[in-house]
Amino acid sequence: MTSSRLSAIIFDMDGILIDSEPTWQKAEFQTMRELGLEISFDDTLQTTGLRIDQVVSYWYQRFPWDNYDNSEVAGKIVDQVVSYINKDGIAMAGVISALDYCRDKKLKIGLATSSSHAIVDAVLNKLDIRHYFNSTQSAEHLAYGKPHPEVYLNCALELGISPTECIAVEDSFNGLVAARAANMQALAIPAKKQRLESKWIIAHRQLADLTELPDYLDGIIKL
């Protein structure tokens, strides 16, 4: 990245801005178990970063159940996550300081998530961070969610920035694939218990959390 201009930073949401991934796992696990699927809690990690309809489809393809209704099952999971965020949602470490840093450096700030607009609104309102973002993009109504790059490309387009001048910040492998496919630099901030997994090699850099972002960007920004 040292030879390229950096003009924008685009954040994933779940697991990057808000500590919601465990809630997604819990809601997904409980819902699938209620449908009769013999999956473990850790099995839900396989769908991290996917859009909710893709999550439901993922499990149905592997363990089909009667009376399949993707939207009904997806809605049940989303409702549980929104309820949690509204009640107990908290920001991940370093979120506000990272957003302040990016704004002070006059970087455009975007949000690109597979989550629905309802969850995006819940997060931005709960954390009171909507004013930081120049673009907020959800893959909810796109033809494809992550790992397809469309949501990232749409965000860069609305920001008016070339994807090659954007850094994406992700906590999931699917998200990193999307960012790389969009021709963006990609930072990985995986969950603590996943940090040593070899798959993060596809990221340009791995950070522990957003508190490390300002120091990292200080070394590469060319404004």
Could you give the residue numbers annotated as active site?
Answer: 12, 14
Could you tell me the two tokens for 198? 């070899």
Burial degree of 32 (CB within 10 A; 0-12, 13-18, 19+): buried
Distance of CA 159 to the CA centre of its chain: 18
CA-wise closest residue to 161 among 142, 139, 137: 137
CA-wise closest residue to 138 among 124, 126, 127: 124
189 C-beta neighbours (distance < 10 Å), count:
27
3-state helix, strand, coil in the chain (%, to 5): 50, 15, 35
Helix pair angle (52-62, 70-88), 10° resolution: 130
Could you tell me the two tokens for 3? 């030879």
Running DSSP on this structure, what letter comes out for residue 143? S
If phi > 0 it is left, if psi is from -120 to 50 it is alpha, else beta; for residue 9 that is: beta
In the sheet with 205-206, reading across from the earlier edge strand, the strands are 135-138, 108-113, 8-11, 166-170, 185-188, 205-206
